[in-house]
Structure 1
Amino acid sequence: MSLADTLYQLTPSPALLLLIIAAIALMESLALIGLLVPGVILITAAASLAGHQEIALSAVIAVAFLGAVAGDGMSFLLGYTQRERVTRLWPLARHPEWLARGARFFRRYGSLSVFFGRFVGPVRPMVPMIAGMLHMSPRAFTWANLASAALWAPAYVLPGYLLGRTWQQLLGLPEGIETWLVALIVLLVVLAVVFSWLRQQVTRTGRLYRLAAVGARRHPVMRRFWLVQSWRGQGEVPLASWLLLILALGSLSGWTLLVIQQQGPLAIDLRVNQLFTALATPGLERLGQVLARVGDRYGVIALVLPWGAWLLWKRHLAAFVHISAGLGGIALLNTLGKALIGRDRPGTPDYLAGSLAYPSAHASTAVVVLGLAAAFIARELPHHQRHWVYWAAILLAVPMALSRLVIGVHWLSDLVGGALLGLVVCALVHLAWQQKARPSLALCPWWWLGSASLILVSARVAWLPPV
């Protein structure tokens, strides 16, 4: 049974889907948890599934309303009864600025802050708890809670619900294909959320990092390893990079064995290929061809050339060598992988004649370029802002990889193998970089270099043929 078959079988029943929407609305409104959960994305996806299954709109709005009311109510009760303990709870103990931001909002708007706060992202989960901590009248809070939830529920549910009711007609998909598209979207969202959560948890401020530190101290060998890595990393063990290396390398090995044993496309490859054939439009194919040129050899050179020149000019030789090693390493591994696996492409245009499929060089190179860029940028930012950089890298890498399916030159499993190979190289380069203290790159003229890269890439797309 393929992964997509499994996901399709796991599609929730109408009753379970309503329960999931209520739970998402509750978590989105719940103090502390709401700060960490991408509620807007999740509730839009769940509402879209509800619209696709033609569940009554009134029921979807009702459960979202009840979940939002319960979440704010529980947050208020937490602040009301645990006023002195709240500031010592994780993650507020490490991020007191979140509580301060909500308190400023409450002082500014008073009782109306409960109503307005539900629609203001950064303070939404904090205001009800702060209202409880400041002993706002429970009666006044209840009315504000009910009124704001009555407006919030349809505002957040309707866009996703309407999308679920109309997207099959808008795209003109054949009957039966839509389940595979839903499965693919759900899989990508889940993987992105899990990756973002794990990355946050294995940094110094994360709970998994602290648990690993406690466990390492109990074993002499692990304690010695932990101390050495901590000393090299200026007080922080690069646990995120080690975990990424172990998980990506293990997944790459297992996935490659699966591809070799299959001796042809996997079942999910055929289904996804059918899906993208059904989705094909002239505009989408043109976009795929543009992204193909952006991600090929000339495109990558055009993209990284300004940054490499700046690193050399400023004598950041270590950064230049590490990034060059990552790009050279992924090019070599792609060549070796294609030669060893010897897998044919689903379609081979003239400019790819003689080129093999697994792993996808576009996917792996995009992951290395964007992953290393995100890692270097994130090191210059506070911990609580770093996840935005990684999300941006994911949002750029996914379309680059999927463009290979749009133009029909790769199977889905080629993209998975390429992405995993790229993550392995990213982890290795980052681990090598973290072996000693490095100078800050904070003075890098990001906007000027980014503009130069955009100009060069645009010229490459306009004037040079694909390779």
Structure 2
Amino acid sequence: MTDWMTAFTPSPSWLFLIIAAISLIESLAVVGLVVPGVILITAAASLAGHHDLAIFALLIAAFIGAVIGDGLSFLFGYYQRHRIPHIRPFRSHPEWLDRGVNFFERYGVLSVLIGRFVGPVRPIIPLVAGMLHMRPATFLWSNLGSALLWAPVYVLPGYLLGSTWQQLFDLPSGSQRWLVLLAALVVSLIIVFSLLRSQLTRQGRGYRLLAGLARRHPRLRRLWLALRTTRPEAELPLASLALFLISLAALSGWTLWVLNQDGPLAMDQQLQALLLNLPLIPLAQVAEWLAKAGDTFGVLALTAPWAVWLAYRRAYAVLLHMAAALGGIALANTLFKQIAGRVRPDIPDYLSGSFSYPSAHTSTAVVLYGLTAAFVADRLPPRHRAPAYWLAILICIPMALSRLVIDVHWLSDLVGGALLGLVACALVRLSYHSFARQNPPPAPWKTLSLASIALLVGRILWLPHA
């Protein structure tokens, strides 16, 4: 396999040009919708990682290509705004432009910054920004900022895959089946959760089926109405109820399995052996930063500006539910750790006396970012809610995996922490539906986000581990 890759790998200079070209094409209006840019750039970055090409140069190449691609799309929209609706494919698919216009009107200047990460509108937003005559200087800094974030997100995973390709052929005995099982489990949970969310909303078939059953059976009808008494205008939180039941059952079964084992699970030891064979030193510092960002001081730094603002706006329902969620998950982690009494793989000084199961960083991240996504989604129409949840998932996954990189948790600890966090999220959402009478007020999120980031950076740089 390695010989085959070597034989068909272009020269380093060509690889830089190929990555830049893929980034450019993937960002072009319309073309980016049909070109599988993610697959192509991952493959090219994997080849580059396999041959240890300079990662900084690759990131620069991807950055330049992305900036040029969005820039060309913007210029085309800026100078041909009247012709674009009448040319193919927009003449046949006017909804593509409508989707981009709606996204741009909703997020304004930030649409260019975040639109690069939202698949359906990614190649359309720069074109729409030009058509609506966004100021070129404003577009330029948004374009540069989004490309600066986009390049590492798209290039680094492929590069890491290529640089560790050889080690992946030398997996410890039995690791393959656990990795396949883990991947299948993650994919299955994502599919099941997505189906539940779509089926248990007002437009879903599952919702209509349950509503029909409630109309025909008096006892079910009383239960149905009881769940809707305080907020009749809101959706019945069937998704939250289903999430609570499923995650509680999964947490119970998983915890029993962990407690019945003599030490770590087989997959824990095999995955740890796999990680020890991978060159993870560059990620160790990032993992340490995430460890500080996810501990008590880090969570306080992130939430303090928002808590002050919620108190100022008298949004007590959101404030109290978030506070109860974070306090409750801290207490639950303490109790679970004492009950399990599981020893960590490695015990640094700041974790002396602390047990392993479940991962408090993972459960806290799921609660903090999961509930934040849910409260944000409350203010969005149903078709725009998915990105908020996906962003929360993309934040929680690195937070959890960092615990493996610094070797203070087993994989099964992360699973237990995630399930515990989901239970807490579901309980809080059910309670919020019952007691809250209005959605959170619109927030000055840019100011609050900058304040949170500033406090978090200060915490990481100057405070020790909590």
Q: Distance in 2 between matches of 1:181 and 1:326?
A: 32
SS, match of residue 343 in structure 1: coil
Q: Distance in 1 between matches of 2:262 and 2:296?
A: 28
Q: Distance in 2 between matches of 1:40 and 1:244?
A: 36
Q: CA 1:115–1:229 in structure 2 vs 1: closer, same or farther (change >3 Å)? A: closer
Contact 2:230 2:437 in 1 (8 A): no
Runs of at least 5 residues in structure 1 that lack an aligned partner in the other structure = 1-37, 53-104, 125-158
The alpha carbon displacement at 1:233 in A equals 3.4
SS, match of residue 256 in structure 2: helix
Out of 226, 229, 237, the position equivalent to 2:227 is: 229
Q: Distance in 2 between matches of 1:418 and 1:452?
A: 28
The alpha carbon displacement at 1:245 in A equals 0.6
1:109 aligns with 2:87: yes
Q: CA 1:323–1:40 in structure 2 vs 1: closer, same or farther (change >3 Å)? A: farther
The alpha carbon displacement at 1:411 in A equals 0.6
Q: CA 1:196–1:43 in structure 2 vs 1: closer, same or farther (change >3 Å)? A: farther
Q: CA 1:106–1:183 in structure 2 vs 1: closer, same or farther (change >3 Å)? A: farther
Q: Distance in 1 between matches of 2:446 and 2:322?
A: 19
Q: CA 1:369–1:339 in structure 2 vs 1: closer, same or farther (change >3 Å)? A: same
Letter in 2 for 1:200: S
The alpha carbon displacement at 1:442 in A equals 3.5
The alpha carbon displacement at 1:112 in A equals 7.8
Q: Distance in 2 between matches of 1:223 and 1:115?
A: 44
The alpha carbon displacement at 1:279 in A equals 2.6
The equivalent of 1:196 in structure 2 is: 194
Q: CA 1:220–1:462 in structure 2 vs 1: closer, same or farther (change >3 Å)? A: same
Which whole-Å deviations, capped at 9, do the CAs of 1:67-114 have from their partners, x for residues lacking one? xxxxxxxxxxxxxxxxxxxxxxxxxxxxxxxxxxxxxx9963357867
Q: CA 1:217–1:379 in structure 2 vs 1: closer, same or farther (change >3 Å)? A: same
Kindly report which structure 2 residues correspond to 1:432-443, keeping only aligned pairs within 5 A, or say none: 432-443=431-442
Letter in 1 for 2:87: Y
TM-score normalised according to structure 2 size = 0.65
Letter in 1 for 2:221: R
The equivalent of 2:318 in structure 1 is: 319
Q: Distance in 1 between matches of 2:304 and 2:245?
A: 31
Which whole-Å deviations, capped at 9, do the CAs of 1:148-188 have from their partners, x for residues lacking one? xxxxxxxxxxx99x959x93554552534394656645543
Contact 1:345 1:409 in 2 (8 A): yes
Kindly report which structure 2 residues correspond to 1:65-76, keeping only aligned pairs within 5 A, or say none: none
Q: Distance in 1 between matches of 2:366 and 2:383?
A: 23
1:220 aligns with 2:218: yes
The equivalent of 1:369 in structure 2 is: 368
Q: Distance in 2 between matches of 1:43 and 1:222?
A: 47
Letter in 2 for 1:210: R
Q: Distance in 1 between matches of 2:211 and 2:35?
A: 34
Q: Distance in 1 between matches of 2:34 and 2:363?
A: 30
TM-score normalised according to structure 1 size = 0.65
My pick for the range that moved more, 183-192 or 355-364, is 183-192
Q: Distance in 2 between matches of 1:44 and 1:190?
A: 22
Kindly report which structure 2 residues correspond to 1:267-286, keeping only aligned pairs within 5 A, or say none: 267-286=266-285
The alpha carbon displacement at 1:266 in A equals 0.9
Between the two proteins, what is the percent identity of the paired residues? 47
| Cα RMSD after superposing both structures | 3.6
Q: Distance in 2 between matches of 1:118 and 1:252?
A: 42
Q: Distance in 1 between matches of 2:343 and 2:36?
A: 37
Letter in 1 for 2:246: L
